[in-house]
């Protein structure tokens, strides 16, 4: 088979998997298998310089389900670049440093600081984008294709920790987080469920994209927030300040969040998270590393799909519903 035929086959296969994963919330294959095929396609596209028009590498999210009102995000919701090896992470960091150095050599009067990093857990659920106007929750949506998502306000309102009003009342903001189902909640749900749910990620995504909010409510979902994606009036100087804003406005923020000046410490932290992964009461599929300074983020900018200032370190795929003792990171 030549490269073109292989690419056509991969595109077709991956689009089929995407449909089952994002639209039906019923994956046909494991994430590991999916990621291997995706990487194979990306490599072939780089090698041949050809990207087929319906290639999944050009898009961020999934198809919109009929029955939900579309919501146009006020700022795009990006995907994340992914690394599975230390080498890949080091390359990412080297590029960050190089871009900062380039900028500083052209702007010696107003240089960017040396990069510092924040490490967060990469929750495995469904992306949520919440819109607040003058302090009131007015919309909630899925990521969809990154530009337009599905309005799921009634469903999101069933998540008890999501604030319906917030103290910040100056115009409109959009905040992003992840809707999840805690593993202990899933286990309890399955004790009496007519149809037990196999996997917490799909249980959460399926519940949030269910046209009947009562079904959503029965799943007793939870959510962690990690980003202010849009705001009329407010600007943050760094990630810490943004997280303080989220906390001050009563959003649930995960207790694991660590800041580092030194990239070797970041790598160490990733190993520690991986070791503690199985003791968490929710699924994570990795950790996310972000540059903390907001001006640096602006300078580094975005590729078609990803911010250059962040990268996801993906762990080996694992689907588990086992719960061990909870640890102090759980809120
Ligand atoms: P992504 O891996 O590109 O990551 C972006 C998402 O990470 C965000 O939208 C957000 O929801 C989430 N996230 C969680 N914690 C975060 C944090 N602290 N900061 C920022 N973002 C955070 O997301 P994606 O494009 O939805 O997923 C792609 C992956 O999904 C693939 O690599 C694959 O593993 C899996 N997938 C599997 C199949 C399958 O059939 N098994 C199909 C499609 C995709």
ipTM: 0.89
- Kindly give the confidence (pLDDT) of every residue in the chain, 331 residues in length, as a single tens digit, with 9 standing for 90 and above: 799 999 999 999 998 898 888 767 788 999 889 999 999 999 999 999 999 988 888 665 556 666 899 999 999 999 999 999 999 999 999 999 999 999 999 999 999 999 999 999 999 999 999 999 999 999 999 999 999 999 999 999 999 889 998 999 999 999 999 999 999 999 999 999 999 998 999 999 999 999 999 999 999 999 999 999 999 999 999 999 999 999 999 899 999 999 999 999 999 999 999 999 999 999 999 999 999 999 999 999 999 889 999 999 998 766 443 333 344 454 4
What 8-state DSSP symbol labels residue 78?
P
This prediction has a pTM of 0.87
Shared-domain flag, residues 290 and 165: yes
257 domain residue, yes or no: yes
| Rounded distance from Cα 192 to ligand 1 centre (Å) | 30
Shared-domain flag, residues 46 and 117: no
327 domain residue, yes or no: no
Shared-domain flag, residues 130 and 215: yes
* From 31, 37, 117, mutation site for ligand 1 pocket: most ligand atoms within 8 A of C-beta: 31
> Tell me, what CATH number does 10's domain have?
1.10.287.610
273-275-279-284 Cα dihedral, nearest 10 degrees: 50
CB atoms near residue 127 (< 10 Å): 22
Instruction: Write out the E strands in the chain.
Output: 70-72, 82-83, 117-123, 126-133, 136-141, 148-150, 172-180, 222-231, 257-260, 284-291, 310-314
64 domain residue, yes or no: no
CB-based pocket (< 6 A), ligand 1: 17-18, 21, 27-31, 34-35, 79-80, 120, 122-123, 127, 143, 178, 226, 288, 312
76 domain residue, yes or no: yes
Q: How buried is 22 (Cβ within 10 angstroms: 0-12 exposed, 13-18 middle, 19+ buried)?
A: buried
* From 61, 178, 228, mutation site for ligand 1 pocket: most ligand atoms within 8 A of C-beta: 178
Shared-domain flag, residues 99 and 39: no
Shared-domain flag, residues 13 and 122: no
**Count of domains forming the chain:** 2
Q: In which domain, by residue range, is 257 found?
A: 70-314
Shared-domain flag, residues 169 and 127: yes
Shared-domain flag, residues 94 and 35: no
Shared-domain flag, residues 42 and 107: no
Block residue for tokens 């962690």:
224
Ligand 1: which residue has its CA nearest to atom 13? 122
Of 174, 176, 177, nearest in space to 233 by CA: 174
130 domain residue, yes or no: yes
Active-site positions?
122
| Rounded distance from Cα 177 to ligand 1 centre (Å) | 12
| Rounded distance from Cα 60 to ligand 1 centre (Å) | 9
Shared-domain flag, residues 206 and 252: yes
Binding-site residues for NAD(+), please? Answer: 31-35, 79-80, 120, 143, 178, 290, 314
Shared-domain flag, residues 175 and 259: yes
> Tell me, what CATH number does 183's domain have?
3.30.470.30
Ligand 1: which residue has its CA nearest to atom 6? 79
16 domain residue, yes or no: yes
319 domain residue, yes or no: no
Binding-site residues, please? Answer: 31-35, 79-80, 120, 143, 178, 290, 314
Shared-domain flag, residues 170 and 275: yes
């Amino acid at each position: 088979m030549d490269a073109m035929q292989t690419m056509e086959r991969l595109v077709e296969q991956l689009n089929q998997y995407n449909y089952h994963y994002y639209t039906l919330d019923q994956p046909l294959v494991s994430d590991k298998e999916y990621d291997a095929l995706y990487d194979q396609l990306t490599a072939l596209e780089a090698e041949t310089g050809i990207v087929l028009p319906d290639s999944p590498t050009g898009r961020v999210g999934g198809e919109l389900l009929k029955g939900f009102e579309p919501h146009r995000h006020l700022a795009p919701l990006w995907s994340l670049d992914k690394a599975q090896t230390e080498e890949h992470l080091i390359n990412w960091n080297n590029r960050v440093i190089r871009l900062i150095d380039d900028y500083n050599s052209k702007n010696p009067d107003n240089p960017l600081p040396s990069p510092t990093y924040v490490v967060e857990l990469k929750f495995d659920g469904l992306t949520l984008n919440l819109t607040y106007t003058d302090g009131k929750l007015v919309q909630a949506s899925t990521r969809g294709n990154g530009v337009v998502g599905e309005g799921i306000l009634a469903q999101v309102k069933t998540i008890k920790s999501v604030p319906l009003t917030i103290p910040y009342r100056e115009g409109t903001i959009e905040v992003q987080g992840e809707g999840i189902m805690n593993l202990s909640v899933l286990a309890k749900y399955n004790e009496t469920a007519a149809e037990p749910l196999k996997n917490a990620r799909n249980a959460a995504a399926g519940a949030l994209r269910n046209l009947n909010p009562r079904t959503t409510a029965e799943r007793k979902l939870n959510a962690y927030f990690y980003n202010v994606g849009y705001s009329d009036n407010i600007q943050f100087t760094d990630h810490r300040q943004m997280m303080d804003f989220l906390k001050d406005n009563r959003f649930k923020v995960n207790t694991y969040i660590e800041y580092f000046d030194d990239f070797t410490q970041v790598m160490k932290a990733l190993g520690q998270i991986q070791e503690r992964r199985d003791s968490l009461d929710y699924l994570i599929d990795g950790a996310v590393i972000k540059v903390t300074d907001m001006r640096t983020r602006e300078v580094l900018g975005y590729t078609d799909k990803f911010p250059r200032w962040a990268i996801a370190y993906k762990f080996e795929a694992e689907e588990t519903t086992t719960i061990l003792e909870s640890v102090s990171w759980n809120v």
